[in-house]
Amino acid sequence: MQRPVLQKLDQALFDQIAAEARSRPRLRCNFNLHDEPDAVQRFLNVLQPGTYVRPHRHRRERCGDGFECFVVLQGAIGLLLFDEQGELLQRETLRASGPLRGIELAEGQVHSLVALDIDSVMFELKQGPYQPLSDKDFLACFPQEGTPEAVAIERQWRDLFEQGGGS
Protein backbone atom coordinates (compact mmCIF):
# COMPACT_ATOMS: atom_id res chain seq x y z
CA MET A 1 0.00 0.00 0.00
CA GLN A 2 1.36 3.40 -0.94
CA ARG A 3 1.24 6.03 1.75
CA PRO A 4 -0.47 9.33 0.98
CA VAL A 5 1.83 12.29 0.50
CA LEU A 6 -0.02 14.02 3.35
CA GLN A 7 -1.93 12.24 6.11
CA LYS A 8 -4.19 14.78 7.76
CA LEU A 9 -4.84 14.31 11.46
CA ASP A 10 -8.13 16.20 11.53
CA GLN A 11 -11.44 16.03 13.38
CA ALA A 12 -13.01 13.87 10.68
CA LEU A 13 -10.30 11.25 11.20
CA PHE A 14 -10.61 11.48 15.01
CA ASP A 15 -14.40 11.00 14.74
CA GLN A 16 -14.00 8.02 12.40
CA ILE A 17 -11.53 6.23 14.67
CA ALA A 18 -13.53 7.09 17.81
CA ALA A 19 -16.68 5.56 16.30
CA GLU A 20 -14.69 2.42 15.49
CA ALA A 21 -13.32 2.29 19.05
CA ARG A 22 -16.84 2.61 20.52
CA SER A 23 -17.99 -0.37 18.43
CA ARG A 24 -15.14 -2.70 19.46
CA PRO A 25 -15.25 -4.99 22.50
CA ARG A 26 -11.89 -3.59 23.75
CA LEU A 27 -13.21 0.01 23.41
CA ARG A 28 -10.09 1.20 21.61
CA CYS A 29 -8.68 1.49 18.12
CA ASN A 30 -5.33 2.33 16.52
CA PHE A 31 -4.82 4.16 13.25
CA ASN A 32 -1.31 3.47 12.02
CA LEU A 33 0.63 6.10 10.15
CA HIS A 34 3.48 3.62 9.69
CA ASP A 35 3.87 0.24 8.02
CA GLU A 36 4.60 -2.63 10.44
CA PRO A 37 8.26 -3.09 9.39
CA ASP A 38 9.06 0.65 9.77
CA ALA A 39 11.85 1.55 12.19
CA VAL A 40 9.58 4.09 13.92
CA GLN A 41 5.98 3.38 14.90
CA ARG A 42 3.63 6.38 14.66
CA PHE A 43 -0.06 6.04 15.25
CA LEU A 44 -3.22 7.46 16.72
CA ASN A 45 -4.71 5.49 19.59
CA VAL A 46 -8.32 6.19 20.54
CA LEU A 47 -9.48 4.96 23.93
CA GLN A 48 -12.98 4.98 25.38
CA PRO A 49 -13.78 4.89 29.11
CA GLY A 50 -14.00 1.26 30.18
CA THR A 51 -11.07 0.02 28.08
CA TYR A 52 -8.57 -1.95 30.14
CA VAL A 53 -4.89 -1.62 29.27
CA ARG A 54 -3.10 -4.35 31.18
CA PRO A 55 0.03 -2.96 32.87
CA HIS A 56 3.07 -3.67 30.76
CA ARG A 57 6.50 -2.43 29.75
CA HIS A 58 8.43 -2.30 26.51
CA ARG A 59 11.94 -3.64 26.08
CA ARG A 60 13.95 -3.85 22.90
CA GLU A 61 17.20 -5.56 21.92
CA ARG A 62 19.10 -2.27 21.88
CA CYS A 63 19.14 -0.40 25.18
CA GLY A 64 16.93 2.69 25.10
CA ASP A 65 14.79 1.57 22.16
CA GLY A 66 11.88 0.62 24.45
CA PHE A 67 10.79 4.23 25.04
CA GLU A 68 7.21 5.31 24.36
CA CYS A 69 5.90 8.82 23.78
CA PHE A 70 2.24 9.91 24.17
CA VAL A 71 0.64 13.23 23.22
CA VAL A 72 -3.09 13.68 23.86
CA LEU A 73 -4.81 15.43 20.97
CA GLN A 74 -8.42 15.16 22.19
CA GLY A 75 -9.95 14.34 25.56
CA ALA A 76 -7.96 13.07 28.52
CA ILE A 77 -5.91 9.99 29.38
CA GLY A 78 -4.71 8.88 32.80
CA LEU A 79 -1.23 7.40 32.91
CA LEU A 80 -0.39 5.00 35.74
CA LEU A 81 3.18 4.00 36.57
CA PHE A 82 3.90 0.84 38.57
CA ASP A 83 6.91 -0.88 40.07
CA GLU A 84 7.73 -4.48 39.13
CA GLN A 85 5.54 -5.82 41.96
CA GLY A 86 2.50 -3.92 40.66
CA GLU A 87 2.51 -1.15 43.29
CA LEU A 88 1.28 2.18 42.00
CA LEU A 89 4.15 4.68 41.94
CA GLN A 90 2.72 7.66 40.12
CA ARG A 91 -0.26 8.88 38.13
CA GLU A 92 -0.45 11.68 35.62
CA THR A 93 -3.34 13.22 33.74
CA LEU A 94 -2.63 13.99 30.10
CA ARG A 95 -5.25 16.37 28.73
CA ALA A 96 -5.57 17.93 25.27
CA SER A 97 -6.48 21.22 26.96
CA GLY A 98 -3.33 21.08 29.13
CA PRO A 99 -1.41 21.79 31.24
CA LEU A 100 0.23 18.35 30.75
CA ARG A 101 -0.47 17.15 27.21
CA GLY A 102 2.23 14.57 26.61
CA ILE A 103 4.92 12.47 28.20
CA GLU A 104 7.77 10.18 27.21
CA LEU A 105 8.32 6.96 29.17
CA ALA A 106 11.75 5.43 29.51
CA GLU A 107 12.33 1.86 28.43
CA GLY A 108 11.18 -0.76 30.93
CA GLN A 109 8.71 1.50 32.79
CA VAL A 110 5.61 -0.49 33.74
CA HIS A 111 2.51 1.50 32.82
CA SER A 112 -1.17 1.48 31.98
CA LEU A 113 -3.54 3.98 30.42
CA VAL A 114 -7.05 4.96 31.49
CA ALA A 115 -9.51 6.78 29.22
CA LEU A 116 -10.94 9.66 31.24
CA ASP A 117 -13.11 11.22 28.50
CA ILE A 118 -15.08 9.65 25.68
CA ASP A 119 -13.33 9.68 22.31
CA SER A 120 -9.89 10.40 23.80
CA VAL A 121 -7.27 10.51 21.04
CA MET A 122 -3.53 10.32 21.52
CA PHE A 123 -0.58 10.23 19.20
CA GLU A 124 1.96 7.53 20.04
CA LEU A 125 5.55 7.24 18.96
CA LYS A 126 7.88 4.34 19.70
CA GLN A 127 10.71 2.34 18.21
CA GLY A 128 9.77 -0.26 15.61
CA PRO A 129 9.43 -2.55 13.96
CA TYR A 130 6.34 -3.93 15.68
CA GLN A 131 6.91 -7.48 16.94
CA PRO A 132 3.59 -8.85 18.23
CA LEU A 133 5.08 -11.73 20.23
CA SER A 134 7.61 -9.59 22.12
CA ASP A 135 6.21 -6.04 22.01
CA LYS A 136 4.88 -6.04 25.57
CA ASP A 137 6.00 -7.60 28.82
CA PHE A 138 2.84 -7.86 30.98
CA LEU A 139 2.91 -7.92 34.76
CA ALA A 140 1.45 -11.27 35.79
CA CYS A 141 -0.11 -9.84 38.98
CA PHE A 142 -2.73 -7.97 36.91
CA PRO A 143 -5.76 -9.67 35.34
CA GLN A 144 -5.96 -10.46 31.66
CA GLU A 145 -8.22 -8.45 29.38
CA GLY A 146 -11.84 -9.54 29.15
CA THR A 147 -12.14 -10.79 32.72
CA PRO A 148 -14.49 -9.44 35.41
CA GLU A 149 -11.40 -8.58 37.47
CA ALA A 150 -10.08 -6.41 34.63
CA VAL A 151 -13.39 -4.53 34.45
CA ALA A 152 -13.28 -3.89 38.20
CA ILE A 153 -9.69 -2.68 38.28
CA GLU A 154 -10.20 -0.33 35.32
CA ARG A 155 -13.13 1.24 37.17
CA GLN A 156 -10.99 1.64 40.31
CA TRP A 157 -8.24 3.31 38.31
CA ARG A 158 -10.68 5.68 36.61
CA ASP A 159 -12.10 6.56 40.04
CA LEU A 160 -8.59 7.53 41.19
CA PHE A 161 -8.50 10.24 38.53
CA GLU A 162 -12.12 11.32 38.97
CA GLN A 163 -11.38 11.94 42.65
CA GLY A 164 -8.72 14.49 41.74
CA GLY A 165 -5.66 12.30 41.34
CA GLY A 166 -2.75 12.96 39.02
CA SER A 167 -1.15 16.11 37.71
pLDDT at 3: 74
Q: Note the CATH number of domain 28-139+149-161.
A: 2.60.120.10
Q: How far apart are CA 79 and CA 101, in angstroms?
A: 11
What whole-number percentage of the chain has pLDDT above 70? 89
- Single pTM value for the model: 0.91
Strand order in the sheet with 88-95: 88-95, 76-82, 110-115, 56-57, 137-138
Cβ atoms of 34 and 128 closer than 8 Å:
yes
- Whether the per-residue pLDDT at 134 is higher than 70: the answer is no
pLDDT at 136: 78
Q: How far apart are CA 31 and CA 167, in angstroms?
A: 27
pLDDT at 4: 78
Q: Which residue has the higher pLDDT, 132 or 11?
A: 11
The tens digit of pLDDT for each residue in 75-87 reads 999 999 999 999 9
The tens digit of pLDDT for each residue in 24-67 reads 999 999 999 998 888 899 999 999 999 999 999 877 666 656 78
Q: Which residue has the higher pLDDT, 15 or 41?
A: 15
Give the number of other Cβ atoms within 10 Å of residue 147's Cβ.
Answer: 11
Q: How far apart are CA 88 and CA 30, in angstroms?
A: 26
- Whether the per-residue pLDDT at 108 is higher than 60: the answer is yes
